[in-house]
Amino acid sequence: MTLTSSKLTASLYAFISISFWGISFVSTKAVLAKLDPFSIVVFRFGIGALFLLLLLLIQRTRLRVSIKYLPHLLVLGILGVFVHQLLQVTALLTIQASSAGWLISFSPIFTVILSVLFLHEKMTLSKAAGMVLAITGVLLVTTTRSGHSFAFSMNIGFFLMVLSTLNWAVYSVLLKSLRIPYSPLLVTFYMSLLGLILTTPFMIRNKGWKSLLLLNHTEWAHLLFLGVFVSGIAYWYWGKALEVLEATKVSMFLYLEPVSTLVAAVLLLQEKVLFISIAGGIIIIMGVIIVNGQLMPLLFSLFKKKRP
């Protein structure tokens, strides 16, 4: 496989992951009425871990890993599953699925900030302008919730969702930089298994298993989708994309996640999306594109093509 085709394949993996994650906010919102946040995380990653284990057995992949890399897997499990998912599920108790999808586009900005702090990259004027523009878009999105003003619409849910984007930026950078010498499928399996183990005591305390009896067929479908496609395939494909592409380039695909969330929220949850929410989302996307230095080169190349 050539380098170009390899990058295209990695881009496809990232796109599929983002599509599933965008819809995941809608599916999570659909089961939150019956299941508490801890139970959702336990059940979806339990299903995801079983699915990944089945794939590993089919491929006859060796399950043994060196004890040297257990701390790495534990950190990834804590950040990628335990912390990240609990932040998002708890946030969805108080915000709409479409708003969550727009706010997740904040993650690439945090990726840039982490690069400045730990990789000593320079903060340029265009990056600063892009960050301000994206923050403006976030504020516009928050004002659309229930038609309230910003002062009334901002709540703990929006804070938790933004915090989860920071956590995801840290997770993605670590997943890329740790260079664990095992396949993304095996790494994702152990990460899911460790995250599941860490979360299970909280589910047992809340007796969350009793709530499974309350789920109808539609809610079970949402839970299975969260387990197989969102917790299993999407995490696996994200790792495969990071094997080939730089973390900042993979994070570019997060700009597409709000579109997936918005479409799913309108079609499945009948959420109302005002024009200002769409405008705010577009501004967020423009901001994060500028942050990653992609807008000006694009405009420059278009200008060059138009010149005789």
Tens of pLDDT, residue by residue over 188-211, are: 899 889 888 888 998 888 888 888
DSSP strand E in 161-264: where? none
The pLDDT score that the predictor gives to residue 291 is 61
Distance CA(136)–CA(280), nearest Å, equals 8
The pLDDT assigned to 304 comes to: 54
CB atoms within 10 A of CB 254: 25
The pair phi, psi for residue 92, each rounded to 5°, is -70, -5
What phi and psi, each to the nearest 5 degrees, are found at residue 44?
-70, -40
What's the Cα-to-Cα distance from 2 to each of 15, 179, 243, 304, rounded to whole Å?
A: 20, 22, 15, 29
Instruction: Give the closest residue to 251 by CA, choosing from 176, 194, 169.
Output: 169
Q: Which of 135, 156, 186, 26 is nearest to 91 (CA)?
A: 156
Q: What CA–CA distance (Å, rounded) separates 180 from 167?
A: 20
DSSP code for 254: G
Q: How many C-beta atoms surround the C-beta of residue 194 within 10 A? A: 22
Residue 210's Cβ-count burial label (10 Å; 0-12, 13-18, 19+) is exposed
Looking at residue 152, its pLDDT comes to 42
Res 259: pLDDT: 67
pLDDT digits 0-9 by tens, 36-87:
888 888 898 899 999 999 999 998 888 888 899 888 989 988 998 888 888 8
Contact present, 113 and 168 (Cβ < 8 Å): no
| Residues of the chain scoring pLDDT < 50 | 145-146, 148-152, 296, 298, 302, 306
Q: Which pair of structure tokens corresponds to residue 111?
A: 């990726």
Which pLDDT does position 149 carry in this prediction? Answer: 47
Is the CB of residue 240 less than 8 Å from the CB of residue 184? yes
- Residue 274 confidence (pLDDT): 67
CA 45/CA 49 separation, integer angstroms: 6
The residue behind tokens 């152990």 is 190
Tokens of 30: 């659909």
- Looking at residue 103, what is its pLDDT? 74
CA dist., res. 3 & res. 7, Å (int) = 6
Report the C-alpha gap between 94 and 88 in whole angstroms: 11
With a CB cutoff of 8 Å and minimum separation 6, the contacts of 12 are: none
How many residues comprise the chain? Answer: 308
Write down the pTM of the prediction.
0.74
